[in-house]
Structure 1
Amino acid sequence: MNELRTSSEAQAAGDRASFAAFDELIRSGRVDAGAAKYFTSSAERRRVFNISEATGAGGGYMLPTRAVAAVAKLLPAATPILSLSRVVETETGAPMIWPALEENSQGAGLVPEGQTSTNADPSISAFVFGTTPKFTSGIVAASFEALQDSAADIANELVEIFARRLGRALEAFFAMGSGVSQPQGVFVGAPVGVMLPAGNTTSVTSAGLSALYASVDANHRQSSRCAWLMSDSTWLAVQQIAAAQNWPLWFSAPTGAQPTSFLFGKPVVISSGAPPMGASAKPIVFGNFDVFAVRLVKGVVMLRMDDSRFVSKGEVGFQAFLRADSRFTAATTTGVCLLQNSVS
């Protein structure tokens, strides 16, 4: 027990020292020799200074490990699709081959005595994650006064700003990205499971929701990652249908947690990147998000800019970069399906 306590105390001390070094870097632009260990190993330094494959980030610093963990912890709040999907972390953003396996239609069989068993090979293919796209937080300008004020927790404020900004950008592309030199969005790559009849350009129907649920393979519906994904405005329309049909939407949650919305027993997740209802729009996706992979390149790069365009205004600029991509893991799948509004 004493060893565990000592280990925990050492980690807490390391966290404090790491953020103290990060705070000093932000305020003064300097990293003391003794604090350099919190920012970069030799391999990480090469990634920062030779990052021309993605961005001209010469002179940048990798955020300390604890700061990266803080960003990662905050990202899901602004990126719900990230929390639903299969996440793969890689050391670099170079192209990567990913195996695509779809064997839901396969099953075991009965073999009579003396008979030869038949092959039931799964359908195995592959797709390539291209060079991982780069996302930026945009520039955050901080005044000299804010940096000199020891009462201001600049380090944590920047981490939260970076996480929120990067999270919103990721969510938009994980939802609606074209997949060409950018992430593939779940609302773009998923097949249509249900198309509503005429007269439903800006509405959904109870029959359509039931049909969308049934369009997803039963095995995929058993997954813990099976969920509904839509915008707030679409969810409002669904709630009105549910009220008319007397469908239960709210289930109890663990003590201290927020109540969770459920539809047909599956959680409802709201995405700021989901498209609104409209003619031929695809406003709802339902299914097992384990078939949707998100690739994150480890590490967040931060730039501290104190050139003339900032100094002349009494400011210092900060900017963060994160590399991420997303793709469906199979060319065709019944794991995730879309509901489409009618044309007219």
Structure 2
Amino acid sequence: MQHFNLPRALRGAVRAEETPQQLFAQINGAIGDLRQRHDDNINDVREHVDNLSTAMNAMQGQLDRNVLSTPGASAMLPVEPDYTKAFASFIRKGDGEAKLSELQSAGDRAAIQAALSVGSDANGGLLAPIEWDREISKQQVTTSPMRKLAKVMTTSVGAFTTLWQSGNPGSGWVGETAARPQTSNPTFDPITFAAGEIYANPAATQRILDDAAIDIGAWLVDALRIEFNRQENIAFLSGSGVNQPAGLLTYVTGGANDGTHPGGNLTVVEEAVAVDALIDFMYGLGAPYRQNATWVLSSLTAAALTRLKDADGNLIWRESLIVGQPATLLGRPVEIDEGMPGPTAGNIAIAFGDFRAGYLVNDRYSSLRLLRDPFTNKPFVHFYATKRVGGGVLDPNAIRLLRIPV
């Protein structure tokens, strides 16, 4: 069978000792295999191309959604590109005046003529094109340092429960052969930190979501996050404990959570804001807690403390020279919480203690949820957001409060 000049791809698939019929059958089978392999390769290429195209489209869509909210992007995206181009031509070459007049609406021309200083033709000028920042400037909202300082527990249910030990086992010294009577036992009381729920349900029209120069949806989600943090800031200090966290400042005589902790209320000391009083107040906290203690107070109280000096004329307040590190008062770090009352007579203005040992924040797992609802109230799209979080005093011995005398 040497007179057959087979293609290289088929030479290994046939044997010379076969009959012509068997040989042709083997060749046809090999050709079929090659064809199938070729088709499979083509399909693989097409699949890779389709995947790449899908990925490119997704990236382009993400870019289209985000570029307007990206810092610096405003310089690349003119509000009126045709008008901006014509204006640039007028500035550079002195032409384009007719084009500008065509592009301006009657309302635009009226606004231009009403403000001569910004460019009426009689004064030899034209209104400069306006660029939007595309970012919304907003008031900075402080968040509570309690979440940073306290012990944070994440639970999969609506509440977290722990046990509080009252007392210690009894003990005593005995002789070698003396009797060993039974000693007293400690008692255990449950403390439950139930998760309250914050909600918001703002709405926006579908048209403004589609046509706004900024990503309204992303802005709204961020605004909800900030608002929920603000609500937490209030509750961690003064919350009643009913459908919300139990605030730190409510575990006092006459407070909303007076007597609810089996270990008692927080210690409240009435002292004027003075150096000796602060030293006594600080060392009144037990040593196991004091070594990890932090001061928590408002900016107004901090302003009063920064001017206090010891007997040698040294300031007891030390500003940090390292970015990100807190200032210190009598050697212990200070956290500013604007939710704390100011240094006014009768106010609890200062908290001092080991907050990780003394206060617990209970976060419900995946507590922040957002439901986009375009159906209930057409043409409005509602953004129903909820967050579940609880909190309360864990150990009343770990934190002390200072009240300004009346």
State the distance in 1 between where 2:337 and 2:170 align.
35
- The residue aligned with 2:191 is 127
Would you say the 8 A contact 1:111–1:117 is kept in 2?
no
- The residue aligned with 1:320 is 385
Would you say the 8 A contact 1:230–1:270 is kept in 2?
yes
State the distance in 1 between where 2:391 and 2:209 align.
37
Q: 1:235 aligns with which of 297, 302, 325?
A: 302
Look up the equivalent residue of 1:274 and give its one-letter code: M
1:248 deviates by 4.1
State the distance in 2 between where 1:327 and 1:102 align.
18
Q: Deviations over 1:186-211 (max 9, x none)?
A: 12226234212xxx5xxx22223212
Look up the equivalent residue of 2:318 and give its one-letter code: L
**TM-score (ref. length: structure 2):** 0.53
Look up the equivalent residue of 2:387 and give its one-letter code: L
Q: 1:287 aligns with which of 327, 335, 353?
A: 353
Q: Percent identity?
A: 24
Tell me whether 1:340 sits opposite 2:403 in the alignment: yes
Query: SS in structure 2 opposite 1:211?
Result: helix
State the distance in 1 between where 2:304 and 2:147 align.
25
- The residue aligned with 1:160 is 222
State the distance in 2 between where 1:107 and 1:319 align.
55
Would you say the 8 A contact 2:370–2:384 is kept in 1?
yes
Q: 1:264 aligns with which of 314, 330, 333?
A: 330
1:316 deviates by 2.4
Q: Deviations over 1:120-139 (max 9, x none)?
A: 96664322234x21112x33
Tell me whether 1:211 sits opposite 2:280 in the alignment: yes
State the distance in 1 between where 2:186 and 2:274 align.
36
Tell me whether 1:78 sits opposite 2:143 in the alignment: yes
**TM-score (ref. length: structure 1):** 0.62
- The residue aligned with 2:371 is 303
Correspondence 1:143-158 to 2 at 5 A = 143-149=205-211, 152-154=214-216, 156-158=218-220
- The residue aligned with 2:270 is 195
Query: SS in structure 2 opposite 1:274?
Result: coil
Q: CA RMSD in A?
A: 3.8
Would you say the 8 A contact 1:208–1:339 is kept in 2?
no
State the distance in 2 between where 1:156 and 1:210 align.
48
How many aligned positions are there? 255
Would you say the 8 A contact 1:304–1:316 is kept in 2?
yes
- The residue aligned with 1:273 is 339
State the distance in 2 between where 1:123 and 1:283 align.
34
Going from structure 1 to structure 2, the CA distance change for 1:118 and 1:336 (only over 3 Å counts) comes to farther
Q: 2:247 aligns with which of 185, 190, 197?
A: 185
Going from structure 1 to structure 2, the CA distance change for 1:242 and 1:165 (only over 3 Å counts) comes to farther
Pick 1 or 2: higher relative contact order, CA cutoff 8 A, min separation 6. Answer: 1
Look up the equivalent residue of 2:365 and give its one-letter code: K
Would you say the 8 A contact 2:307–2:315 is kept in 1?
no
Look up the equivalent residue of 1:220 and give its one-letter code: Y
- The residue aligned with 2:103 is none
Q: 2:152 aligns with which of 80, 84, 87?
A: 87
Tell me whether 1:329 sits opposite 2:394 in the alignment: yes
Q: Deviations over 1:206-256 (max 9, x none)?
A: 223212211211111123xx2111111111111122596522422343xxx
1:158 deviates by 3.4
Query: SS in structure 2 opposite 1:183?
Result: coil
Query: SS in structure 1 opposite 2:402?
Result: strand
**What are the ranges of 5 or more consecutive residues in structure 1 without an aligned counterpart?**
1-12, 24-75
State the distance in 2 between where 1:114 and 1:250 align.
62
Query: SS in structure 2 opposite 1:339?
Result: strand
Would you say the 8 A contact 2:142–2:338 is kept in 1?
no
State the distance in 1 between where 2:216 and 2:170 align.
57
- The residue aligned with 1:173 is 235
Would you say the 8 A contact 1:302–1:320 is kept in 2?
yes
Going from structure 1 to structure 2, the CA distance change for 1:153 and 1:181 (only over 3 Å counts) comes to closer
State the distance in 1 between where 2:165 and 2:340 align.
27
State the distance in 2 between where 1:228 and 1:184 align.
20
